[in-house]
Structures are given as C-alpha cells and as structure tokens.
Amino acid sequence: MILTLIVMIFIAIRFFLIGSFRITGSNIGETVKAGDYVLVNKVKTNHPNDRNRLMLYQSPLLRDTSKPPLFIGRCIGLPGDVIQMGVDGFRVNGRLLPNAPMMQPSFHIHRDIEESLLQTLESLQIPLRRIKEDSTGIILRMSLREKELLTRNLSKVVAIELIDDYAMEYEFVIPEKGKIVEMTEIAFIICKEAILNETGKNVEQRDGKFFIDGKEQTSFTFKNDYFWVLSENETEGIDSRHLGIIPQSHIIGQIRYCWYSKDPTRRFKKIK
C-alpha cells in the first residue's frame, strides 16, 4: 500500500509538477546545449513570473498537430504586451530588448558574383535561408548584421538590395484571454494560426479585409492567453518569428535546472 502510494506520488510529480527532458538539436543557443538533461517546472505561474524565462514549448502550427515538435526559447512577451519590431530590434511595451534576435528580411544580390557570394556566406557561417533565384540574381534572407558583415567581406563591391522593406517595422498586441484584438494586416499574419485553432473555421484575408467562413470581421476575441517567445540562436533558431504567437496550452514549462551535461562545468546548474 505504501509502495503504491509512493509510486502514485512520483507519477503525479513527473507528469504535473516537474519533468526531465534531454535537449536535442543544434539551433538552441548558449544557455542549454544539445545532450543536456534539464528539469522543467510544469506548474502554471502568474504570467509576470514567465517574463524572460527560458521555456520549453510545443509548435502551435496546425500541420504539427499529430506530433508537435518541441522548441526552446525565452519568453519576452506576455498577454496584453505591445510588441514592436524595427530596424534596431524588438521592443516590448516601448523598451528595447538587448541581444534579441534580429529580423531576417529578403535581399537580392546580382548573379554575376554567385560563386564568390556562396563562398563568402560559407566562410562567414551565414545560413542559406530560403534561398531562391530569379532572372537576374539570388534572393536570400539574413539579418541586417549579417548583411553588413557580408558586404564588408565580399571581394567585389556589389549592391545588396532589400526587397521586402514593408516588413522592416511592425507593431501588434499579444492576444489576451477575453480581449478584443483589431485585425490589422500584421495582426492577421501573426494570429492566423491561433484563430484557426480556436475556431476550426476557414480564415482568410482578401483585399485587406479579414474573413471567417466568408463573413467579414474587423476584430477577434481570443479564448486563450498567448505569448511571444524568441530563440537564443539569432540565425537558425525557430521561434515566434516563424511560429507566431504561442498559446499557453502549448507551453510545457520553465526550464529551471541542468542536472546532467557532457560538460562537467554545466552540471547541477540553475538556469536563468
């Protein structure tokens, strides 16, 4: 009887309070490393306690519903926060975030330096993100810092043209349970997956207007709280820049402790 009770308590702690996870993947940043074993606090806290915490969460994308992959990122935006993105980085409620990942707009580079370009990108360890070609050159995504680094290191002076400057600056409010969000073009792009999940209906935008099952809407009232999470890996990490807002139901918990690592200096370390 006592043994059964102990087992039940252990199971309850394991599934509802604290979980142990092994970190995999290479695009996660510096705080935790691939191969580390970490303890995750699954207890739901007041939202302010989640700010700037390293979180383990599931992909919210509909295509990942059957087996959602896990991601790691730092929670920088809480329900109701105003997120602003500009050429200098992310702002939360007007405060610039130091060391936050930068945006990755598309740039066009003329074809006549293709070989030199690819060699320079490889030497600078700049990933080939969504690279494609048109009739005159190559189009790829990179941060503004990477663009400046590339410009300085190319053997030939060449124009590197920004081709989607409309995306250089945007602002939106992270949805909060029970709150009405006006459906601007940017809000629709960021919240589309969340609205699809909440309604299970056809959601689309046509001619700058927002429709649910063919009926025009100017706003949407969300049923859940959402968060904005950024990877610590600026160039290759997957986060809210790619996944959009993260529902609270998809957050497994805060990563609080590394209890084992191949690197002895990282063992038994509290994670901040």
3-46 pLDDT per residue, tens: 444 434 444 444 446 788 888 876 677 788 888 999 999 887 77
Whether 233 and 253 map to the same domain: the answer is yes
Q: Please enumerate in sequence order all residues whose Cβ is within 8 A of that of 197, keeping only pairs 6 or more positions apart, or say none.
A: 60, 62, 247
Whether 214 and 252 map to the same domain: the answer is yes
**What local confidence, expressed as pLDDT, does residue 178 receive?**
95
Whether 36 and 148 map to the same domain: the answer is no
Write the DSSP symbol of residue 245.
-
Number of domains, the chain: 2
Write the DSSP symbol of residue 205.
E
Alpha-carbon 193 to chain mean position: 14
Reduced to 3 states (helix: H, G, I; strand: E, B; else coil), residue 106 is strand
Residue ranges of the chain with pLDDT lower than 70? 1-17, 26-27, 87-88, 99-104, 130, 144, 157, 164-168, 234-235
Whether 82 and 172 map to the same domain: the answer is yes
Distances (CA, A) of 17 to 14, 104, 229, 252: 6, 37, 22, 10
Cβ atoms of 56 and 231 within 8 Å: the answer is: no
Whether 194 and 145 map to the same domain: the answer is no
Model confidence pLDDT, tens digit, residues 112-140: 777 788 888 888 888 777 677 887 888 88
Domain boundary at 118, 149, 167, which?
Answer: 167
Give kind and range of the element (H or E) at residue 5: helix 2-12
Reduced to 3 states (helix: H, G, I; strand: E, B; else coil), residue 207 is coil
Whether 110 and 158 map to the same domain: the answer is yes
Largest alpha-carbon pair distance within the chain?
78
Domain boundary at 167, 195, 219, which?
Answer: 167
